[in-house]
């Protein structure tokens, strides 16, 4: 049984790419970008182990219930989890959904790796946002993008750079019982602002990085 090590899931969000999307954050990243707003997602131990088949059914459910048009893979570093990430991307495509991936690696680097799962994930990706997060270069004009060095690669014809990208970033905050769930990308001065708040509420996080 193929499994994925995940830090968080949001079944329907508008803060992690175009339209409504099912977002999955992997647990574990080999990079160490100063200012990464998800340091708790960097260790490879932790998070939850989830069967990829089961995740596929949850994605299909969200397509039916929420009308999500795609999945977004974030981290952590999705390409450090290339096998389950590729399987999730393949499953999403079979459901007619699009795939967006945020990676701290550049596309050029990824294309030189010989790992077949990396190639499969790239082959099933519609939008790749690449490059490490640089906190001294915050991006305030491209929605969903963390820093100005990061590039948007439209790897298929499904999307293009339109007005939806030319907006300020979006942060979503959900309160479910005693849980406070935050995702999206905050303005530079607000990175991590909610962390103590969440600890007080004894909740997990779903805020993205990259």
Where do contacts with ligand SF4 occur on this chain (CB under 6 A)? 29, 31-33, 36, 38, 41-42, 75-77, 104, 132-133, 209-210
Strand, helix or coil for residue 6: strand
Task: Name the DSSP letter for residue 170.
Answer: -
Residue 41's DSSP bridge partners are none
Q: How far is the CB of 39 from ligand SF4 (least distance, A)?
A: 7
Listed residue (72, 96, 80) closest to 11, CA to CA: 72
The residue number whose beta carbon is nearest to ligand SF4 equals 104
Cβ-based nearer residue to ligand SF4, 8 or 91 = 8
Cβ-based nearer residue to ligand SF4, 52 or 80 = 80
Q: Residue 28 in contact with residue 39, Cβ under 8 Å?
A: no
Cβ-based nearer residue to ligand SF4, 75 or 184 = 75
Q: How far is the CB of 120 from ligand SF4 (least distance, A)?
A: 21
Q: How far is the CB of 131 from ligand SF4 (least distance, A)?
A: 9
Cα distances from 154 to residues 13, 19, 100, 137, in angstroms, run 20, 15, 9, 22
Distance CA 103, CA 79 (A): 7
Cβ-based nearer residue to ligand SF4, 13 or 38 = 38
Q: How far is the CB of 17 from ligand SF4 (least distance, A)?
A: 15
């Amino acid at each position: 049984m193929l499994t994925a090590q995940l830090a968080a899931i949001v079944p329907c969000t508008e803060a992690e790419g175009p339209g409504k999307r099912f977002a999955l954050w992997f647990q574990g990243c080999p990079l160490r970008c100063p200012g990464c707003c998800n340091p708790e997602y960097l260790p490879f131990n932790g998070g939850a182990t989830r069967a990829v088949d089961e995740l596929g059914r949850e994605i299909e459910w969200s397509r039916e219930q929420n009308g999500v048009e795609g999945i977004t893979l974030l981290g952590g570093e999705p390409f450090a989890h290339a096998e389950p990430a590729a399987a999730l991307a393949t499953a999403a495509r079979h459901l007619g959904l699009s795939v967006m991936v945020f990676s701290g690696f550049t596309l050029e680097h990824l294309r030189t790796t010989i790992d077949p799962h990396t190639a499969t994930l790239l082959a099933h990706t519609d939008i790749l946002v690449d490059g490490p997060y640089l906190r001294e270069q915050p991006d305030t004009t491209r929605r969903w993008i963390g820093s100005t060095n990061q590039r948007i690669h439209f790897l298929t014809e499904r999307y293009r750079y339109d007005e939806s990208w030319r907006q300020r970033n979006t942060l979503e905050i959900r309160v479910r019982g005693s849980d406070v769930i935050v995702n999206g990308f905050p303005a530079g001065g607000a990175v991590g602002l909610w962390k103590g708040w969440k600890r007080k509420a004894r909740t997990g996080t779903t805020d993205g990085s990259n």
